Amino acid sequence: MKHTPPDSSLPRPRIATEDASVVRARGRQRAGIVGAVLAVFMGGIGLRGVQLALDPDARVLDIAAEKRWKNVSTQGPRGTVLDHDGNVLAESVKQPAISVDPVAMRERAFEAVKLEHLKDRLDEATLKRVADEGARVALDQTGKDLAGVLVLPLDEVLSVLHSERRYVRLARNVHPEVADQIRDLGLLDKGVIIEENYRRFYPQGGFAAQLVGFVDDNGIGRQGLEQHFEEELAGSSLETVHRVNRWGSLLELFRRDERTAGGHAIKTTIDHTIQQALERSLAVVMEQSKPISATAVVVEVRTGRIVAMATGPQFDPNHLTDDFTNTHNIAVGNATEPGSVLKPFTMAGALTAGVVTPDDIIETSSPYQMYGVSISDDHPHPALTVSEIIKYSSNIGASKIAAKMGGEVLYASMESFGFGARSEIETQGEAVGVRHPWGKPGPVELATVSFGQGCTATPLQLAMATATIANGGVRMRPMIIDEIDDAFGRVVRKSEPIEVRRVVSAQVAAQVTRAMEMVIEEGGTGTRAAIPGYKVAGKTGTAQKPKNGTYSAARYSSFIGFAPSNDPVFAMAIVVDEATVGSRYGGVVAAPVFAEVIGEALRLYHVAPDPALLPVPKATHVNAPALAPSLLLVDANVPEIPAALARVEDEDAPNSPVRMSWMDGAWALPDLNGRPMRDVLAGLQRSGLTLHVEGTGRLASMDPMPGTWVVPGETVQLRFQ
């Protein structure tokens, strides 16, 4: 169909036009309506703003806090662990950790690229590509600097910086000098974070390590005192408020006093010198006998205070590996068959029950057959008194004593000494030990328990039971914690000795003590435990070690004892697990440890030896030999000694009331306490000893103590007051 254009010759219709004033009026009306709507809208927004300012919504506050503020909970420094002498065994030291926020670092690097001069020359897309490349180069340089300072593989660091993670710890426990290098390189401005963390440090290394325990990578106590006192040592948390920028980096930090969050200080009863002596002696056993382990406990008899507890081989908690074999506290946590060291407690139970007396004679012909089982003695005798059964360690004699007692009496006696129950010592992982169930044990089970087989005990239980005999039959609770102080040094808890119960009478304890003294005397099994100048009571043990359900050729070598037996101060138990070189007998392997450690402990505590028990040389000279005058050393910290005392004239010496005994090249130091300085120096003038003098007046103490044998040239400390 063809379109026909309109005829232009026809007249056009006229359109009516409005007056301009009408149009303007209508425009003003519409503008007013729109303005009113906008005013209402803006007014609503303003009112809402006022409402949010005066009474903000909790959700708004949460969002604002999350974006601009950050609450961080941090644990305060862990408390210290100390020995009784105040030496630090474990402490927390500040050691930096290095972390990064890769996302924030990239944003910083991007904004740091200066491209203002290129904005007029490059389009937006090209400008962004250039900025991205500049940020990547800057980030790579930061990665190279970090890798060099932290000694980390470069590709490992770069993979972290180019990741989408928000927080990555690159290194923990770095040296403070490393943190200083990072600051000097300006890496903090590029988003690297230095965290002042705490690291557990053990200044004494492996000293008492099994007792103290250690902490894991998260700062949580594992094993020993570190685990048992986790709550006290860890302390409380610190809430710190951080203001952050839009990248999440810290702008400022509000701190509280760190002491409010510090952990308590745990002061133990461990005597530093005795612990050192014990660890040194056990190290010798480990070297000479090549056992799996050797462990021992030393107890202060009257208080139950543990003054030393050690296990070999040691470990250093500063350098832990994935092998935690040696970190276990065997003294508390391992219950093994005690063997013959249990016989004194069998005797104590029998004496208490009244079924035997120390002088009763028991037939002990070896071997002894009972119900198809053969019991034999390593040192056979046809007959022995009850006391001699302990001296010669007769299994047959112990079996016959147990038969007189019966199972109920024997087990009750063992339980009263603390076997088969926790001692309540304040450390982690204490084992209970086992015995045959209550009821009526068979005669064979009863016999084996009497000499320490078919039951188990920990070294700690053996030490505390031995201390019970030494303490006149009174059992004390083992005490390993002396005191606990808070972060301000205030005493939170002070431990006091706790008497658990009387186990046997003082008379029975004395009778068992006499039998144990015979073990150390000539002919006994424990002569190597003798300490010159002191009476010693002890008992050896050599127990078969069960393996795969049967007794093997391996042995537990053990010794228990206390000294001086006439006035006990220290008790001790030693257990050596499977000595593989040399003898396996407890009297050979374990007894010397007792002599060395307890001997040093007695000297340390100034327990005077009995001169009658000191070795007597072959020849005795009535007159002292003519020796050179003694060397006199005067302490510079005290007033100068008058010249008349600094050099005692020869003619003064014969007039001195002090007399000394000379025996086969050695002097027996006389008791000079309370004597005036002039008499003391005159009496020692010709001894050839080196005399170190402190103070003036009368003699208050001397070291070595009176009765000790010394040779010319040896130093004697003399303190006057």
- Closest among 268, 212, 257, 260 to 235, alpha carbons compared: 260
**Residue-level pLDDT at 70:** 57
Which domain-ending residue is among 611, 630, 656? 611
Low-confidence winner among 227-241, 270-284, 507-521, 579-593 (lowest mean pLDDT): 227-241
**Residue 534 and residue 648 in one domain:** no
**Residue 560 and residue 629 in one domain:** no
Q: Above 90 in pLDDT, residue 702?
A: no
Q: Above 80 in pLDDT, residue 292?
A: yes
**Residue 542 and residue 659 in one domain:** no
**Residue 554 and residue 656 in one domain:** no
Low-confidence winner among 265-279, 438-452, 526-540, 618-632 (lowest mean pLDDT): 618-632
**Residue-level pLDDT at 439:** 53
Which domain-ending residue is among 573, 593, 611? 611
Place of tokens 């009176």: 706
Q: How does the average pLDDT of the chain come out, rounded? A: 83
Highest mean pLDDT among 35-49, 85-99, 641-655: 85-99
**Residue-level pLDDT at 640:** 47
Is 310 within the bounds of a domain? yes
**Residue-level pLDDT at 121:** 60
Instruction: State mean pLDDT over 166-191.
Output: 84
Q: SS3 string of 195-232?
A: EEEEEEECCCCCCCHHHHCEECCCCCEECHHHHHCHHH
Query: Which of 490-498's residues contact partners 24+ apart within 8 Å by CB, and which partners?
Result: 492/264, 495/269, 497/302, 497/303, 497/304, 497/305, 498/304
Q: For residues 72 and 679, which has the higher predicted lDDT (pLDDT)?
A: 679
Is 246 within the bounds of a domain? no
**Residue-level pLDDT at 647:** 45
Using DSSP, state whether 361 is helix, strand or coil: strand
Is 673 within the bounds of a domain? yes
- Closest among 655, 647, 629, 649 to 712, alpha carbons compared: 629
**Residue-level pLDDT at 3:** 56
Q: Is residue 478 a contact partner of residue 306, using CB atoms and an 8 Å limit?
A: yes
**Residue 605 and residue 637 in one domain:** no
How many structural domains does the chain have? 3
**Residue-level pLDDT at 653:** 40
pLDDT digits (tens, 9 = 90+) for 224-237: 999 999 999 987 76
pLDDT interval class at 608 (50, 70, 90): confident
Output the domain CATH number for residue 447.
3.40.710.10
pLDDT digits (tens, 9 = 90+) for 485-494: 998 889 999 9
Output the domain CATH number for residue 168.
3.30.70
**Residue-level pLDDT at 541:** 95
**Residue 595 and residue 664 in one domain:** no
Instruction: State mean pLDDT over 145-157.
Output: 89
Is 262 within the bounds of a domain? no
Task: Find the domain containing 393 and state its range.
Answer: 275-611
State how far the Cα of 285 lies from the Cα of 294, in Å rounded to an integer: 7
Is 267 within the bounds of a domain? no
pLDDT digits (tens, 9 = 90+) for 649-684: 444 444 445 667 776 667 778 878 888 887 888 778
Which domain-ending residue is among 154, 184, 203? 203
What are the two backbone dihedrals, phi and then psi, of residue 492, each rounded to the nearest 5 degrees? Answer: -85, -40
Q: Which residues share a beta bridge with 12? A: none
Q: Above 50 in pLDDT, residue 205?
A: yes
**Residue 197 and residue 285 in one domain:** no
State how far the Cα of 294 lies from the Cα of 296, in Å rounded to an integer: 7
Is 346 within the bounds of a domain? yes
**Residue 405 and residue 434 in one domain:** yes
pLDDT digits (tens, 9 = 90+) for 358-394: 999 999 998 898 888 889 998 889 999 999 999 999 9
pLDDT interval class at 61 (50, 70, 90): low
**Residue 444 and residue 300 in one domain:** yes
Percent of the chain predicted with pLDDT > 70 = 81
Is 247 within the bounds of a domain? no
Is the pTM higher than 0.75? The answer reads: no
Is 11 within the bounds of a domain? no
Q: How crowded is the C-beta side of 291, counted as CA atoms within 13 Å?
A: 30
Percent of the chain predicted with pLDDT > 90 = 44
**Residue 621 and residue 607 in one domain:** no
pLDDT interval class at 629 (50, 70, 90): low
3-state helix, strand, coil in the chain (%, to 5): 35, 25, 40
- Closest among 555, 536, 535, 534 to 545, alpha carbons compared: 555
State how far the Cα of 73 lies from the Cα of 70, in Å rounded to an integer: 10
Instruction: State mean pLDDT over 197-209.
Output: 90
**Residue 445 and residue 526 in one domain:** yes
**Residue 300 and residue 152 in one domain:** no
